[in-house]
Amino acid sequence: MTNLQEEKEFHQIKDAFNGAIDIFNKKDYKAAHDLFERIVEEYKDSDYYNVLEIQARSKVYRNITDSLLNPVKIELTNNEEYLDEGLYHLNAGNLKRALELFAHIEKQDNKDPYLYYLMAIAQFKVGEKETALGSLAKCLSLDKHYKIIIHNEPDFETLLDDEQFIAIVK
């Protein structure tokens, strides 16, 4: 059975946490960080498990907001790192960034069919069908074995009946 002090403290931290979450969901990460920090400090010496549980969740959100406010800068030094980062952004749906990274590699006179395959996926996803088909043609000019991969790529499923696509992968 909880006592009145525990119940009062629990409702206070719960209300403060819910308010901080609302600010977090509005993407005001600085204000949310400050609110989570205040919760962490204010309730760190609580005697009540349920209060400390919310205080611990506040620590997690404080750390998340801290990382959002102070993102780690990754320095890319070679084409492999650019390709890996581009693939990460492609998979994360950050297509514009993925295409920027892929373009950097292409400028290095790169002859990697995988690069053109990935570029085609990103280009097609942003609605650049003609450019994507050109990238697929470059990919296949470097390695004909990509025909099977391209033909089975789920992102190109809508192109399976497209005459231009068929002409490239036949």
Distance, in Å, from the CA atom of 15 to the CA atom of 110, rounded to the nearest integer, reads 56
35 plus 85 within the same structural domain:
no
66 neighbors 30 (Cβ within 8 angstroms): no
Answer with the one of 69, 89, 119 that is the final residue of a domain. Answer: 69
Domain that holds residue 54: 4-69
10 plus 59 within the same structural domain:
yes
98 plus 156 within the same structural domain:
yes
Q: What percent of the chain has pLDDT over 70?
A: 99
51 plus 133 within the same structural domain:
no
Cα distances (angstroms) measured from residue 4 to each of 8, 10, 23, 41, 111: 6, 10, 29, 22, 71
Tell me the angle at which helices 49-69 and 4-25 cross, rounded to the nearest 10 degrees. Answer: 20
Structurally, the chain folds into a number of domains equal to 2
What's this model's pTM, rounded to 2 decimal places?
A: 0.61
What pLDDT does residue 170 have?
A: 86
CATH, residue 109:
1.25.40.10
Instruction: Identify the sign of the CA torsion 124, 156, 89, 132.
Output: negative
Model confidence over 1-20: pLDDT tens digits?
Answer: 458 888 899 999 999 999 99
Is 74 domain-assigned? no
